[in-house]
Amino acid sequence: MQKRHLGKSGLEVSAMGLGCMGLSFAYGPKLERKTAITLIRDAFEKGVNFFDSAEAYGPYTNEELLGEALAPIRDQVVIATKFGFRNGVIGEGLDSRPETIKAMVEASLKRLKTDRIELLYQHRIDPLVPIEDVVGAVKQLVEEGKILHFGMSEAGPDAIRRAHAVLPVAALQSEYSLWWREPEEQILPVLEELGIGFVPFSPLGKGFLTGTINENTKFADDDFRNVVPRFTEENRKANAKLVEVLGQIADVKGATRAQVALAWLLAQKPWIVPIPGTTKLNRLEENIGAANLVLNNADLIAIAAALEQIKVVGDRYPAHLQKDVNR
């Protein structure tokens, strides 16, 4: 697989990463451990060297899974993880105090079975802790060699600039896809100006852009999408037009809807690296295949024209979670 540089950080990763959250968190029953480890190693064998986790995925179990899966190939991969929630539990609120960051990193290193983390993100901006204090704590960990690069997630332009002034921000991880394009307005210009890479999560719209979800789809009881406004039955039906457009382009290109959606992201900027997640080998292979799909200018113009005619409906987060985004 081709490699990409995350901005000017010097951090080089596979053009497609693997978002590991869904292996053990948020999307229904977690994958059996042995099966999940096999999937992670299959991803590496197929060219993926960029693996994304967080202490909050579980909590903690996702990092443990990744640590075990990647131990035999540790020096050949790039591990990204995140801090920022009290006790690693999203429902307990934000906590980016310097002492918490340092303790979290020590615990994450043990779970990941490693002596360094290539990319450490602040999972969400903590309004009670100045970003300069947060980045200052991370900078100390960089100086100790425990962290190689710093990243942010769902941060707004002001916070990105302030953080970058203390320690170069290697990457921003935020939602971006054909059905969530808000980063184009303010975020992408700032990243380009500062030389920061962009790692879109949910690049397939939490599965919707694959074309396998419609208004009749039933999610598992513990699937996060049950509380996402954009995934109500009514909104899924309204948003089906976007999937139809993807299908038309996919048919012409001899590709799948998911591959077109991922290739579209790759075509936006050379420093964008999506991290689609999956629990299935065939979907993993499909996603990786998108790295070889080239959308020409005519394709991109056709997609842009189609998007002008489509209004995606439904908020992407429940109200109680939306308040923590883009501070």
Which residue of the set 27, 57, 121, 176 is catalytic? 57
Q: Whole-prediction pTM value?
A: 0.96
Concerning whether 57 is annotated as a catalytic residue, the answer is yes
How many Cα atoms sit within 13 Å of 310 on the Cβ side? Answer: 22
Task: Annotate 44-66 with DSSP letters as a single string.
Answer: HHTT--EEE--TTTTTTHHHHHH
pLDDT of amino acid 319: 75
Where does the pLDDT of residue 327 fall: very low under 50, low under 70, confident under 90, or very high at 90 and above? very low
Pick the CATH number of 3-322 from 3.20.20.100, 3.40.462.10, 3.30.70.270, 3.40.1500.10: 3.20.20.100
Per-domain boundaries in the chain:
3-322
Taking residues 259-279, what's their average pLDDT? Answer: 98
pLDDT tens digits, residue range 111-145? 999 999 999 999 999 999 999 999 999 999 999 99
- Cis peptide before 274, with omega less than 30 degrees from 0? no
